[in-house]
């Protein structure tokens, strides 16, 4: 950190002032958003607060450059330092995840996934993924997404037997059954709302049995994997995709990795020129910085704390009468089934009430949710952002109390305002920098 030169706040103030000189409207919006982030608790499981170095690496002159192609093979001159930046990002990604090849150019996780589809599948090919409403991602076969429109998704369910100790967890027998029946070319694992450990070795066994390639999308858990706090998809998965902005705490972007040279060549061609044009080199500089941070011992501590905080929050909410799906969490997130507190309560209402109270969450379907995605019966909560901020396992009990009070208040304006006041005061103790 550069505290001895400038605090994060001073740099952010300077940036805002600079923008204000030419564009007051943009500066007003920037300042308002900064104030919102400072004064609220961020419990969205896919979000985080990046370090000053990660943030400001994005606001640099590397955005000025076209660097279509790959290091050493560009379509434009002047790429001497861009080659070095991208190579360093690749090297750090490989070191962080223990693999042979890394493509750091995907603009986002969805683009990373689409590039894998373009590189390894043909239109109409069958692939297998989790029932999307049970915790999957739209890029895993949603009908209106390219993956569902131009390919043929088949889905495996979770364990739906409420009496089973495996209730709401991955049903590996069902994965095998679906794969043997449909013979997918690609088997996907990795999810957006799954609170338990993924057994990549088991998935590989099934992939081998049915002749599929195994793809692990670790968008959510990448930071935990990098820190050794969740088992690694390597050497089991043939290809691994991720975002860089969730638990990994880097800039908004994507990453594709493999240890298979043939697969890496196919994916590189699919990504550019197949899927994208020029890479976002300023973002890739920021990926360099983020990967460097994730390689440090402090990041392991961070990942451990993320999980400890999630377990603490899940426990405290359970004690307050909320049902957590699967009975708890192994990672950074949990799904709260609101129906046990109030059969009528929807995720949409709870999200709105909590936002009024300064607690930012997202409505989320629970497995086999009878309600549509715009209502849902659940909330997804995650601890990556509040842990970055410095909140402890004990703080999670206070957070659970505020959630409890707000839900108990049924959206009452007075209750929301009271919690909002307490949250705001609490947030002042944890400045964002
Ligand atoms: C977040 C996420 C993505 C993609 O994210 P982008 O918004 O496109 O960056 C892909 N897969 C999973 C499982 C995710 O959770």
Q: Measured from the CB, is residue 137 less than 6 Å from ligand 1? A: yes
Task: Assess whether 350 and 248 both reside in one domain.
Answer: no
Task: With a cut of 60, say whether residue 2 has pLDDT above it.
Answer: no
Give helix 347-356 / helix 413-428 axis angle, nearest 10°: 60
Contacts of 363 (CB under 8 A, 6+ apart): 346, 347, 348, 350, 351, 375, 376, 378, 379, 380
Indicate whether residue 220 lines ligand 1 (CB < 6 A).
yes
* Local confidence band at 129 (pLDDT 50, 70, 90 cut-offs): very high
CATH code at 107?
Answer: 3.40.640.10
| Co-location of 167 and 268 in the same domain | yes
Strand order, beta sheet including 126-130: 101-103, 254-258, 239-243, 213-217, 186-189, 126-130, 152-156
CA distances to 79, 98, 165, 401 from 62, rounded to whole Å, are: 10, 28, 52, 45
- Best mutation site among 45, 46, 104, 109 for ligand 1 pocket (most ligand atoms within 8 Å of CB): 109
98 with 69, same domain: the answer is yes
Least confident residue range of 45-49, 160-164, 329-333: 160-164
pLDDT band at 65 (very low <50, low <70, confident <90, very high): very high
Cis before residue 297, ω within 30 degrees of 0?
no
Retrieve residue 81's tokens: 């330092």
State whether the Cα torsion 225-229-231-234 is positive or negative: positive
Instruction: Tell whether 325 is covered by a domain.
Output: yes
Q: Which residues are catalytic?
A: 66, 68, 217, 243, 246, 252
| Ligand 1 close to Cβ of residue 46 (< 6 A) | yes
Mean pLDDT (whole number) for 235-239: 98
* Residue nearest atom 6 in ligand 1 by C-alpha distance: 109
Mean pLDDT to the nearest integer, 87-102? 98
190 C-beta closer than 6 A to ligand 1: yes
Q: Which atom of ligand 1 is nearest to the CA of 252?
A: 9
List the domain range (segments joined by +) for residue 397: 305-427
Residues 100 and 206 in one domain: yes
- Is 421 inside any structural domain? yes
Cα angle for residues 179, 333, 229 (degrees, 5° grid): 80
CA of 321 relative to ligand 1 center, distance in Å? 31
pLDDT at residue 3 above 60? Answer: no
Express each pLDDT in 404-420 by its tens digit.
999 999 999 999 999 99
Instruction: State yes or no: pLDDT of 433 exceeds 80.
Output: no
Residues 275, 401, single domain; the answer is no
- Give me the mean pLDDT over the 71-96 stretch: 98
**Cα 327 to averaged position of ligand 1 atoms, centre (Å):** 25
One domain, residues 109 and 186: yes
Residue pair 267/115 in contact (Cβ under 8 Å)? The answer is yes
User: In this predicted model, what pLDDT tens digit does every residue of 10-22 receive, in sequence order?
Assistant: 888 999 999 999 9
Instruction: Report the alpha-carbon distance of residue 256 to residue 274 in Å, rounded.
Output: 15
Closest-lying ligand 1 atom to the alpha carbon of residue 245: 9
How much is the average pLDDT of 138-163?
A: 97
Q: What is the pTM of this model?
A: 0.97
Residues 409 and 341 in one domain: yes
Average per-residue pLDDT for the chain: 96
Q: Which two tokens stand for residue 366?
A: 């629970």
Cα-based torsion angle of the residue sequence 213, 219, 225, 231 in order, rounded to the nearest 10 degrees: -40
Q: How far is the CA of 253 from the centre of ligand 1 (A)?
A: 9
Nearest ligand 1 atom to alpha carbon 110: 8
The CATH number assigned to the domain holding 346 equals 3.90.1150.10
Question: Distance from the CA of 185 to the center of ligand 1, in angstroms?
Answer: 21
Angle between helical axes of 413-428 and 393-408 (0-180°, round to 10): 160
Same structural domain, 252 and 353: no
Name the least confident of 8-12, 213-217, 362-366. 8-12
pLDDT of residue 1: 42
DSSP single-letter state for residue 216: E
The pLDDT > 70 percentage for the chain reads: 98
The predicted structure's pLDDT at residue 10 = 86
Contact of 354 with 367, CB cutoff 8 Å: no
In the sheet with 378-382, reading across from the earlier edge strand, the strands are: 323-324, 333-337, 378-382, 362-364
Q: For residue 185, what pLDDT is reported?
A: 98
Residues 298-314: tens digit of each pLDDT: 999 999 999 999 999 99
Q: Distance (Å, rounded) from C-alpha 75 to C-alpha 374?
A: 45
């Amino acid at each position: 950190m550069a505290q001895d030169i400038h605090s994060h706040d001073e740099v952010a103030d300077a940036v805002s002032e600079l923008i204000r000189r030419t564009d007051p409207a943009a500066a007003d919006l920037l300042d308002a958003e900064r104030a919102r982030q400072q004064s609220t608790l961020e419990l969205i499981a896919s979000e985080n607060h990046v370090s000053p170095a990660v943030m400001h690496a994005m606001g640099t002159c590397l955005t000025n450059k076209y660097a279509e192609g790959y290091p050493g093979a560009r379509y434009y001159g002047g790429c001497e330092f861009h080659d070095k930046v991208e190579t360093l990002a690749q090297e750090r990604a490989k070191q962080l995840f223990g693999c042979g090849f890394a493509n750091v150019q995907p603009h986002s996780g969805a683009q990373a996934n689409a590039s894998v589809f373009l590189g390894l599948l043909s239109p109409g090919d069958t692939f297998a993924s989790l029932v999307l409403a049970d915790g999957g991602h739209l890029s895993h076969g949603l009908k209106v997404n390219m993956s569902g429109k131009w390919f043929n998704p088949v889905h495996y369910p979770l364990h739906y037997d409420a009496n089973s100790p495996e209730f709401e967890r991955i049903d590996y027998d069902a994965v095998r059954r679906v794969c043997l029946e449909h013979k997918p070319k690609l088997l996907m694992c990795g999810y957006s709302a799954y609170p338990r450990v993924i057994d990549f070795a088991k998935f590989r066994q099934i992939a081998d049995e049915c002749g599929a390639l195994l793809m692990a999308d670790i968008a959510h858990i990448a930071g935990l994997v990098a820190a050794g706090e969740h088992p690694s998809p390597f050497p089991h998965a043939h290809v691994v995709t991720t975002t860089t902005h969730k638990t990994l705490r880097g800039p908004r972007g994507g990453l594709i990795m493999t240890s298979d040279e043939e697969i890496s060549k196919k994916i590189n061609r699919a990504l550019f020129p197949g899927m994208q044009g020029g890479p976002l080199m300023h973002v890739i500089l920021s990926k360099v910085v983020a990967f460097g941070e994730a390689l440090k011992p402090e990041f392991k501590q961070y990942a451990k704390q993320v999980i400890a905080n999630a377990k603490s929050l899940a426990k405290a909410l359970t004690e307050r009468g909320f049902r957590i799906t699967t009975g708890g969490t192994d990672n950074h997130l949990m799904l709260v089934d609101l129906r046990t507190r109030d059969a009528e309560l929807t995720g949409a209402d709870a999200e709105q009430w909590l936002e009024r109270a300064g607690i930012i969450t997202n409505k989320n379907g629970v497995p086999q949710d009878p309600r549509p995605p715009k209502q849902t019966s659940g909330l997804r909560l995650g601890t990556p952002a509040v842990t970055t901020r410095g909140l402890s396992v004990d703080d999670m009990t206070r957070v659970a109390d505020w959630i409890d009070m707000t839900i108990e208040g049924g959206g009452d304006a007075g209750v929301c305002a009271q919690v909002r006041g307490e949250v705001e005061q609490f947030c002042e103790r944890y400045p964002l920098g």
